[in-house]
Each structure stands twice: as C-alpha cells, then as structure tokens.
C-alpha cells in the first residue's frame, strides 16, 4: 500500500525523491545528495544574442561557483609570495635591510594564513579541505598550488618563528616557494573551459607575477623605511608597476584575438580602474624624494590597482562563461587545439 504523503510522518523531507521508506531504501548513486531548498535555478539566456546559432541563448558552460574569496586569494597569495621573495633577497644585505626583511616575513606568513582561510571558506565542504593533499596530481594546477601554498606556509612560519640562521634558511625557502605562488593561479584559471581565461593562457602568468610584485612593492611603500631601503623599494616598485602595465596590455591583446572573448574584459569597470590605479601609482613612484604622504598615496593606489586587476580578471571570466558565442567563436576561429581537423568533420 502506498503511504499517503500528507499523513505519513516517517517520510523523508519532500525533496522530489518520492520514496516511501517502507517500500524502498535510499541507496541510489544520487541518494546522498543533500537538499535544503528546492528551487529552480534555470540559466538565464545571454543578452548578447545578436549573432550566430545558439540554443535559445543559454550558456554553454556552467559558471564557476567561486565567490569573492577566490579573487581575494589571488591578490593576497600574490602579495605574500612576492613579499617573501623580497625578504629572502634582502638576506643578501642583511646589515642594511632590516625593515624590508621583517615586514616581508610578516606579510608572507600573514598572507599564507589568510590565503588558506579564504580557500577553505570557499569550499563546498570546508571540513574536507585536507583532501586537497590526498594525492599529488601534476595535471591539476589547483593540486600543485595547494602543495606550493602548504610548503610556503610552513617556511613562512619558520621565517618568523625560528631564531637566527634557521629563520633565515626558512625565509629563503619561503622566498623560493613564493615565486610559483605568485603565478600558479594564472595557470589554474587558464586550465578551464572559460573562454577568457583559456584565451589568455600565455599572458596571464606574466600579468599575475608582475601584479604580485607590484602588490608587494605597494604594501612596502605604506611603511616608513630608512633611506637606503626606500631606494630598494622604489627600484623594485617602478620595475614591477611598469611590467604590470605592459602585461595588462599583453593580456588584453591576447584576449582580443577573438573579439567576443576579449569583450567582457575590455568592458569590465574593475579592469579599467585597475589600469588607471597602477598607472597613477607608477607615476607617484617615479617622483624622486617624495614626501611620506605621497609615498603612502602611491602604495594605496598600487594596492587598489593590484586587487582590482585580480577581481577584474575574475569577474570578466565569469561573464565570458555565460556567453555561449564566446566559446563557439573561439573554437571556430581555430583557437582550440585541433580545429583544422575537426572543422572538416563538424559542419559549420
């Protein structure tokens, strides 16, 4: 006898499975899927439908579920990595670079803790974060990156916690792991089907490294430094910010190879703001013998620019995954791996 759903109290939550527990057990492949709310989440047709064949304008790809914590990590991780690199280099001149060394170590360790917190917070199952280290998988930039971040975090902790020589050795370790930490995230984004990220796979690592360097330079500009250390930061800062601007242009050019792919980046307000901020901050850094406040202004502008760069790339990527035409045009234009073969097999 089928139980009356209105009166049967032993019935599981109304989640559409319609299983009467007296007649059947929940043992299917999807039976452990938890349901709190039943709600339709239909994709919205893209509003840029003007051209070409699509399936009612629906997105081809699923949008990334990542929230603000991921672009925030892109910034913080880059800052920590580049700060560690600078702190490790300052070991070469330990006598005179105390502030850069100390501040760099603190930024590195603090950054690694904040990074881990952001990444764990964004997981669908945060309690299982440690599963990231279950395996070593070179094919997954996220897995490789978690190993890099873990090693970096360990060394960065040693660099502030261990005394003397040991601390210096740990600082060197953090500096070495800090280098890939600034840039693996670019490969991580590029290793997706998102047209914008995949389409900028060669220039994005350059941008992320130089943006990380200018984050660290800008953070150091906020501190009061002795004259010789201020000179070091100034040199580093000018080079980093200049590279940052050039690489941003390179990313935009690579994205624009297919107009539709580059469009969301070109139109992204954060991306535009980032370029203005970094440029302004570069101008401030170039001014010689500036006042303390001018230096701080340069640091603030640079920090805003670096953060906006990461948020801009992230948001524009999310936007491009909603546009099915971006993928279609990218693949038809031969930007995918083997189109010379496939286009002869799939009708145009």
Partner 1 sequence: MPQGFFTDTTLCIGCKACEVACKQWNQLPDDGFDFTGFSYDNTAQLGASTWRHVAFVERPVPLGGTQLGNFSWLMMSDVCKHCARAGCLEACPTGAIVRTEFGTVYIQPEICNGCGYCISACPFGVVDRREDDGRAWKCTLCYDRLKADMTPACAKACPTASIQYGDLVQLRVKAKERVVELQSRGLAEAYLYGVDAENQPGTGGLNAFFLLVDKPEAYNLPPDPVVPTKLMKRSWLTMAGAALGLGVLAVSAVVAP
Q: Minimum Å distance from CB 73 to partner 1?
A: 12
The backbone torsions φ and ψ at residue 98, rounded to the nearest 5 degrees and listed phi first, read: -60, -45
Stretch that binds partner 1, among 107-115, 155-163, 297-305, 320-328 (CB under 8 A): 320-328
Q: Does 269 bind partner 1 (CB under 8 A)?
A: no
Q: Minimum Å distance from CB 3 to partner 1?
A: 17
Q: Does 264 bind partner 1 (CB under 8 A)?
A: no
Closest CA to 80 of 206, 176, 181, 159: 181
Stretch that binds partner 1, among 26-34, 166-174, 281-289, 296-304 (CB under 8 A): 26-34
Q: Does 36 bind partner 1 (CB under 8 A)?
A: yes
Whether residue 244 contacts residue 252, with contact meaning beta carbons closer than 8 Å, is answered with no
Q: Does 47 bind partner 1 (CB under 8 A)?
A: no
Residue with Cβ nearer partner 1 (60 or 307): 60
Given candidates 1, 42, 47, 164, which one binds partner 1 under the rule CB under 8 A? Answer: 42
Q: Does 252 bind partner 1 (CB under 8 A)?
A: no
Q: Does 16 bind partner 1 (CB under 8 A)?
A: yes
Q: Does 54 bind partner 1 (CB under 8 A)?
A: yes
| Cα 7 from chain centre | 51
266-269 LR contacts (CB < 8 Å, sep 24+): 267/316, 268/312, 268/315, 268/316, 268/319, 269/312
Structure tokens given for 276: 């203005």
How far apart, in whole angstroms, are the C-alpha atoms of residue 91 and residue 175?
10
Q: Does 240 bind partner 1 (CB under 8 A)?
A: yes
Residue with Cβ nearer partner 1 (55 or 293): 55
Residue with Cβ nearer partner 1 (243 or 280): 243
| Cα 146 from chain centre | 13
Given candidates 3, 11, 17, 297, which one binds partner 1 under the rule CB under 8 A? Answer: 17
Q: How far apart are the first and last CA of the chain?
A: 56
Q: Does 80 bind partner 1 (CB under 8 A)?
A: no
Q: Does 287 bind partner 1 (CB under 8 A)?
A: no
How far apart, in whole angstroms, are the C-alpha atoms of residue 296 and residue 301?
9
**How many residues sit close enough to partner 1 to count as binding (CB under 8 A)?**
115
Residue with Cβ nearer partner 1 (16 or 164): 16
Sites for partner 1 among residues 173-202 (CB under 8 A): 175, 179-180, 182-184, 186-188, 190-194, 197-198, 201-202
Sequence-ordered alpha helix ranges (H) in 132-226: 141-161, 164-181, 184-190, 195-199, 204-221
Q: How many CB atoms lie within 10 A of CB 92?
A: 7
Q: Minimum Å distance from CB 293 to partner 1?
A: 23
Closest CA to 266 of 328, 333, 196: 196
Stretch that binds partner 1, among 132-140, 156-164, 166-174, 285-293 (CB under 8 A): 132-140
How far apart, in whole angstroms, are the C-alpha atoms of residue 198 and residue 201?
5
Given candidates 5, 131, 161, 249, which one binds partner 1 under the rule CB under 8 A? Answer: 131
Given candidates 3, 11, 19, 106, which one binds partner 1 under the rule CB under 8 A? Answer: 19
Vertex 15, ends 11 and 16: CA angle to 5°?
100
How far apart, in whole angstroms, are the C-alpha atoms of residue 301 and residue 72?
17
């Amino acid at each position: 006898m089928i139980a009356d759903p209105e009166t049967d109290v032993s019935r599981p939550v109304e989640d559409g499975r319609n299983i009467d527990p007296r007649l059947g057990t929940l043992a299917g492949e999807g039976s452990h899927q938890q349901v709190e709310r039943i709600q339709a989440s239909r994709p919205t047709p893209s509003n840029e439908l003007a051209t070409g064949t699509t399936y009612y304008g629906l997105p081809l790809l699923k949008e990334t579920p990542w929230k603000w914590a991921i672009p925030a990590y892109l910034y913080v991780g880059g800052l920590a990595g580049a700060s560690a690199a600078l702190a490790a280099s300052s070991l070469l001149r330990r006598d005179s670079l105390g502030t850069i060394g100390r501040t760099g170590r603190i930024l590195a360790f603090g950054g690694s803790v904040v990074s881990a917190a952001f990444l764990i917070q964004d997981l669908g199952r945060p309690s299982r974060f440690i599963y990231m280290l279950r395996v070593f998988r070179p094919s997954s930039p996220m897995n490789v990156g978690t190993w890099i971040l873990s090693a970096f975090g360990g060394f960065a902790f040693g660099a502030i916690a261990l005394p003397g020589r040991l601390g210096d050795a740990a600082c060197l370790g953090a500096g070495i792991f800090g280098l890939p930490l600034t840039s693996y995230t670019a490969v991580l984004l590029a290793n997706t089907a998102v047209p914008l990220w995949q389409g900028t796979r060669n220039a994005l690592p350059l941008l992320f490294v130089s943006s990380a360097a200018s984050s660290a330079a800008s953070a150091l500009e906020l501190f009061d430094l002795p004259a010789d250390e201020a000179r070091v930061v100034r040199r580093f800062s000018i080079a980093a910010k200049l590279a940052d601007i050039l690489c941003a242009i390179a990313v935009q050019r690579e994205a624009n190879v297919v107009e539709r792919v580059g469009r969301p980046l070109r139109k992204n307000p954060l991306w535009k703001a980032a370029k203005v901020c970094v440029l302004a901050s570069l101008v401030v850094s170039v001014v010689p013998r500036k006042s303390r406040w001018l230096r701080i202004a340069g640091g603030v502008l640079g920090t805003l620019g670096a953060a906006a760069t990461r948020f801009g790339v992230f948001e524009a990527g999310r936007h491009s995954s909603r546009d099915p035409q971006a993928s279609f045009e990218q693949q038809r234009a031969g930007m995918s791996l083997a189109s010379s073969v496939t286009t002869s097999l799939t009708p145009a």
